[in-house]
Structure 1
């Protein structure tokens, strides 16, 4: 369960990208939603002890990250929701064609236009997290919801059934999202809000020492251990 007594003194923040910036769900004295154009501003506003942000943190020089491979295995039929992290060199390329070619050369596969479209946010987090004022971890919402449910979820978060299932899982953890989320509710899609709330729960688990990582013992490093938390 979400430990509200712990959270009073040690707020945490779950963050997900949305079309116009970043959506954050803060677990503290209560559950609050926040929006900012830049992740650094979101964290400065909310002052969390730990941030869990749904974006790749740590990049391979070649091949795939073990964290991504293990996450896909654990999610079963939901494997496609795991973003296969590009090699670091690809992030410096200005076009999808060039980035995909570099990734194909060093990782054995290209990348979608959708993945390339995330590059600005990936670069933003990559630069920010190295000087962040608090601990920053990488979660994955579908892994987090799987952890809550004990099994992969049957329905996509884009469906009504999937959305309601995820809201119920959050409520079971005492994370009740208010109807009025202010600017965050106007800027973020419903699934962005749910994902941010889910990874806020992961942040709380990291803080309490109950979170699990993929891999169990990270062996890859990119200035810090590369792992996905849940």
Structure 2
């Protein structure tokens, strides 16, 4: 993490959770980050400084059509992740994400993808959260350079000298202590105090959410310092001008 308080803005690493959004936030001048829960993404943005950098584990930028297995960012990062590739969901075109039912989403996805593909239930459950961020970024173009998409498993890979995590965070829906410990060790190497993860997660979030928000905070600091790259290297933008890229 960045430690020169005179040069950095507020930083937030964010993940979706049952309660809404979980965020590790480090305000300029603070000695350590604090963990917060927000019910709405817009409230989180409003709570931070006007120059805050926010790294969030949620797809940002929705193309009109999908060519191949998901958006360009998803296709770009999968080859790095080995056994963790299944953590990268294929997000469909904007028309499908904006659908009001699973059946409608599948129908729209089939119409806007090549090869034609329906929507997974896991991806469908993300759509309300995706649209929360989308609406915020449509309303305020100034947020787009500093609210960036990250993917936790790819972030851990980038912070671990290009090596993907060997163990999953969850097994059969339950938190895997070995997977959590592996990721805490990586975070510790990047100056995130491992004691931050000794307490139970807040209500409405799991320990996997806490860990994912933490690695996103590290990536927010790296992004603020100009140390991240975009995947793909030359990202497109959607019809609203929102970049379609994962940062890592």
Flag whether TM exceeds 0.5 (same fold): yes
Deviation by residue 1:41-85 (Cα, 9 ceiling, x = unmatched) = 122224361111111110111113211101112212211111211
Using the TM superposition, give the Cα deviation of residue 14 of structure 1 relative to its aligned residue in structure 2, in angstroms: 0.8
The answer to whether residue 103 in structure 2 is matched with residue 97 in structure 1 is yes
Assess if the C-alpha contact under 8 Å between 1:32 and 1:181 holds in 2.
Answer: no
The answer to whether residue 157 in structure 2 is matched with residue 157 in structure 1 is no
Matches within 5 A, 1:209-220: 209-220=226-237
State the Cα RMSD in Å.
2.0
Using the TM superposition, give the Cα deviation of residue 216 of structure 1 relative to its aligned residue in structure 2, in angstroms: 1.5
Richer in helix (by share): 1
Assess if the C-alpha contact under 8 Å between 1:34 and 1:42 holds in 2.
Answer: no
Assess if the C-alpha contact under 8 Å between 1:75 and 1:142 holds in 2.
Answer: yes
Runs of 4+, deviation exceeding 6 Å: none
Match of 2:91 in 1: 85
Instruction: Point out the more displaced range, 131-140 or 21-30.
Output: 131-140
Q: List runs of 5+ in structure 2 lacking aligned partners.
A: 171-175
Match of 1:12 in 2: 11
Matches within 5 A, 1:160-199: 160-176=177-193, 178=196, 185-199=202-216
Matches within 5 A, 1:129-168: 129-132=137-140, 134=143, 135-150=146-161, 151-158=163-170, 159-168=176-185
Matches within 5 A, 1:31-50: 31-47=33-49, 49-50=52-53
TM-score scaled by length of structure 2: 0.85
TM-score scaled by length of structure 1: 0.91
Assess if the C-alpha contact under 8 Å between 2:232 and 2:246 holds in 1.
Answer: yes
Q: How far, CA to CA, are the matches of 2:17 and 2:6 in structure 1?
A: 25
Match of 1:114 in 2: 122
Deviation by residue 1:138-180 (Cα, 9 ceiling, x = unmatched) = 0100010001112011100111111001111111111125357
Aligned length: 228
Using the TM superposition, give the Cα deviation of residue 181 of structure 1 relative to its aligned residue in structure 2, in angstroms: 6.8
Q: How far, CA to CA, are the matches of 2:6 and 2:81 in structure 1?
A: 29
Deviation by residue 1:184-220 (Cα, 9 ceiling, x = unmatched) = 6223100001001111111111110111210112234
